[in-house]
């Protein structure tokens, strides 16, 4: 069998598998001695999974340069994809309101996502959010790790199951451990709560109000870190 690049010794199937793994799963190019800005610039060219093909642009995290609190959501939505900024759409506006109610200044926090390109499927003329799969979350993980490593937040708040399972393990259940401050090697504490978009999807006004109050209570638990 020929070498996949057309030169060198014949390949064994084991070698081909190793090459395929490297070709199929390129790693993001994390700069040496990274700063937040060098990470943001490098992430613009990331092609470590196929989502760069469908997203308009990489939506990197944003916020304070030395945040005590880092919020991690799932992935950018339609508006975030178009503007290139995280949490600027309806869920972001709800997060802003909840932070204000909890007495946390968003400008003193940092907000990012587990996956940095918008995954969507067409429905008529609309682009509908599609949940990223495990391979996409894993492919994007080096960017999140690099953000955490540069920013060194005191607490990471996972917004929703995707972020929680990325940082706390696949068996983690937000429904069972929501609002708990969990010691971690990534930051002194990690806490998981719901994604604000789940509050927007509440079936009626009463449920939405109750869910919002619970979300605000979760945020109050990390206010002491600001």
Query: DSSP letters along 15-55, please?
Result: HHHHHHHHHHSPPP-PPTT--HHHHHHHHTT--SSTHHHHS
The residue within the footprint of ligand SF4, chosen from 48, 64, 144, 192 (CB under 6 A), is 48
Handedness of CA 94, 92, 200, 180 (dihedral sign): negative
**Nearest-angstrom CA–CA distance, 223 and 226:** 6
Smaller CB separation from ligand SF4, 3 or 131: 131
> Does 162 interact with ligand SF4 (rule: CB under 6 A)?
no
Question: Least distance in Å: CB of 27 to ligand SF4?
Answer: 9
- If one asks whether residue 61 binds ligand SF4 (CB under 6 A), the answer comes out as no
Mark 116-145 with x for binding to ligand SF4 (rule: CB under 6 A) and - for no binding: xx------------------x--xx--x--
3-state SS, residue 77? coil
> Which helix or strand (DSSP H or E) is residue 78 part of?
helix 78-83
Q: How far is the CB of 146 from ligand SF4 (least distance, A)?
A: 11
Cα 78 from Cα 126, distance rounded (Å): 9
Distance CA 62, CA 159 (A): 15
Residue 114 beta carbon to ligand SF4: minimum distance, rounded to whole angstroms: 9
Cα Rg, the chain, nearest whole Å: 19
Closest separation between CB of residue 161 and ligand SF4, Å?
Answer: 18
Of 47 and 209, nearer to ligand SF4 (C-beta) is 47
> Between 181 and 220, how does the x/- string for binding to ligand SF4 read (CB under 6 A)?
----------------------------------------
The SS3 of residue 213 is helix
In degrees and rounded to multiples of 5, residue 189 shows phi and psi of -140, 150
Q: How far is CA 27 from CA 32, 60, 186, 192, in A?
A: 14, 17, 20, 27
Residue 58 in the binding site for ligand SF4 (CB under 6 A):
yes
Q: One symbol per residue from 84 to 123: x for binding ligand SF4 (CB under 6 A), - otherwise; what is it?
A: -------------------------------xxx------
- Which residue stretch of 46-54, 97-105, 159-167, 186-194 sits at the interface with ligand SF4 (rule: CB under 6 A)? 46-54
Q: Which residues bind ligand SF4 (CB under 6 A)?
A: 28, 43, 46-49, 51-52, 58, 115-117, 136, 139-140, 143
């Amino acid at each position: 069998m020929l070498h996949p690049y057309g030169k060198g010794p014949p390949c064994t199937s084991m070698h081909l598998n190793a090459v395929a793994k490297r070709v199929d799963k390129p790693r993001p190019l994390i700069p040496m001695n990274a700063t937040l800005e060098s990470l943001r610039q490098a992430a613009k060219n990331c092609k470590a999974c196929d989502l760069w093909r469908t997203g308009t642009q990489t939506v990197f995290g944003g916020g304070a340069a030395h945040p005590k609190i880092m919020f991690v959501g799932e992935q950018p939505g339609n508006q975030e994809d178009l503007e290139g900024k995280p949490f600027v759409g309806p869920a972001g506006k709800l997060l802003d309101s909840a932070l204000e109610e909890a007495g946390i200044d968003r400008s003193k926090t940092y907000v990012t996502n587990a996956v940095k390109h918008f995954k969507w499927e067409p429905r008529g003329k609309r682009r509908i959010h599609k949940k990223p799969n495990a391979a996409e979350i894993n492919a994007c993980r080096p960017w999140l790790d690099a953000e955490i490593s540069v920013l060194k937040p005191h607490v990471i708040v996972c917004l929703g199951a995707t972020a929680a399972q990325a940082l706390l393990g696949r068996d983690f259940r937000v429904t069972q451990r929501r609002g708990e401050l969990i010691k971690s090697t990534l930051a002194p504490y990690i806490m998981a709560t719901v994604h604000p978009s789940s509050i927007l999807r509440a079936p009626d006004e009463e449920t939405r109000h109750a869910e919002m109050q619970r979300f605000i209570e979760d945020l109050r638990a990390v206010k002491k870190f600001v």
